[in-house]
Structure formats: C-alpha cells, structure tokens
Structure 1
Amino acid sequence: MPQTEPWEYSLYVPNDPRAVPICRRTLRLILTMHGLVRLVDTAELLAAELVGNAVTHTKGPAALRVRWADGVLRIGAWDADPQPPEPPAHLPGVLEEEDGRGLALVRACSDVWGWQPLSRFGNRGKYVWCELGGGQRGVTRRAS
C-alpha cells in the first residue's frame, strides 16, 4: 500500500555517465520501499532521461531529486548549468534523430514537466522536473 505521508530524497552524483544507472536503481528502491511499484518503470525512464541530460550536457555535478506529496511523484534533476533545456519536440518528430529524444520522452510519459533556474550560495544552475500522478498529461509549466 502506498504511503500517504509526503517524503523527499536527493542523490548527488558526479558528472559521470555511470551516475544514470545508479540513479535508476536508487529510484527503484525508493519507490518499492514506499509501495509505489506501479510507478517504477515510467519513473526510471524519466529519471534516466533527466539525469542523463544533466551529466551529458553540463560539466559539473548533478542531483536526482524525488518527492511524493498529495498523490503526485515529482522527479527532477539539478545541474550547475543555468542554460534552459531545449524545448522538446513531439516524440514522432524526433524518432529518426540521433539525439534530442530525452525531453520529448519526458513530455510524452509524464503528466506535466517544467524547469526553473536556481541560484544558491553563489552557484547557478537549473532544475528540470516532471510529475506522475497529477492527471495533466502534456502540460508544460515553468515553476517560479
């Protein structure tokens, strides 16, 4: 049975492609322990795309952030690059491309996604996130 109390986890990772499967496995364990097995497969895909983008397109460290509140799972990736993510194309439009499918998959598989710039302790960066369970599939928001 899923836990109804809110919870949040952060996993900080180096800029290393091996961080992606580590984040996927950690997320699987978190969701399983909280009784959210039904979300594992989609959540793993989304986390892999978000963290993969963070370690592929930036030079600094990254973090996977996962939060459960009010029946909504938010998955996000922080990175040190303040540049906004490229807006995702619709998935059919990028199927033939070598790359660029990540955010299109996030858009297609999540209920809502967005990004926000971050500045903390003199460090700049961004947080790209998506949600499962909110019922607003395909809506894009930029959180403040």
Structure 2
Amino acid sequence: MPDNEPWEYSLHIPNDLRAVTVSRRTLRLILTMHGLIRLVDVAELLATELITNAVRHTKGPAALRVRWSPPGTLRIGAWDADPEPPEPPVPFERGEDAEEGRGLALVRACADVWGWHPLARHGNRGKYVWCELGAA
C-alpha cells in the first residue's frame, strides 16, 4: 500500500556513468520501501534515461530527485549543471538508427507528463528535467 503522506528523496551524484546504476538501484529501494513496487520497472527506466542524460551531456555533478504526492503521483527528476535546454525528443519513427535523442523519446512515451526548467541555486546554474507517473 503506497504512503498517504508526501515524501521526497534527493541523491547527489558525481559526473560518473556508474552513478546511473547507483541511482537506479537507490530508486528501486525507495519505491519498494514505500510500497510502490508496481511502479519500479517504469520508474527505473525513466530515471535511467534522465540521469544518463545528466551525466553524459554535462561536465559537473548531478542529482536525482524522487517525490511522492498523494493520492498517487510519483515525480522523478534529474538536475544537472548545464542550463541549456535538453535536446528535443527524436520521434521513434525517424530515429530508429539514432544514437542520440532516444532517451527523452522514451521518457515522453512512458511518463504521463514531462518537462524541464532552468534552475539557479546557491549561485549555481543548471536545469531540472522531470517526469511524472500516476500510481493508478
């Protein structure tokens, strides 16, 4: 049974591709402990794409943020130090052979909604790319 109270976790990660696996496994543990096991597979896919983009396409640190808002919305987001907008998703039909741009296409296809916004914090600039899953 999912929690009826809101909660949020943040995981600050270095610019290291191994951080993608650490983020994915941490997310699985968080969702399992909060009774949201049915969301784990899709949430892991979404977090993997967001964190991979943050680590691959920027030079600084990144962060994974996971937030639950009752009665049933899971928000997964990735912060990175690059304030430039993410590349637009490549449609699957046109991007079958494309190596780049498929991650956000997966996010768009699997999430209920997604977006991004610039972010400034403690004098640091960057962006926050997020998506939401409904638990229903």
What TM-score, normalized by structure 2, do the two folds share?
A: 0.95
Q: Cα distance, 1:14 vs. partner?
A: 0.1
1:125 maps to 126
Compute the displacement of 1:91 (Å): 2.5
User: What is the distance in 2 between the residues matched to 1:92 and 1:129?
Assistant: 24
Structure 2 SS opposite 1:91? coil
- Equivalent position of 1:86 in the other structure: 87
CA shift at 1:87, angstroms? Answer: 1.2
Cα shift at 1:134 = 7.6
What is residue 4 of structure 2 aligned with on the other side?
4
**RMSD across aligned C-alpha pairs, in angstroms?**
1.2
Amino acid at match of 2:90: A
Say whether the 8 Å CA contact 1:91–1:108 is kept in structure 2. no
Alignment partner, residue 102 of structure 2: 101
User: Any unmatched runs of 5+ in structure 1?
Assistant: 136-144
Contact 2:20–2:48 (8 Å) recurs in 1: yes
Give the structure 2 partner of residue 112 of structure 1.
Answer: 113
Gaps of 5+ in 2: none
Provide the TM-score with structure 1 as the length reference: 0.90
Q: Could you list the structure 1 runs, at least 4 aligned residues long, displaced by more than 3 angstroms after superposition.
A: none
The aligned amino acid for 2:9 is: Y
Number of matched pairs = 135
Amino acid at match of 2:37: V
Deviations 1:3-52 (CA, angstroms, capped at 9, x unpaired)? 11100000000000000000000000000000000000000000000000
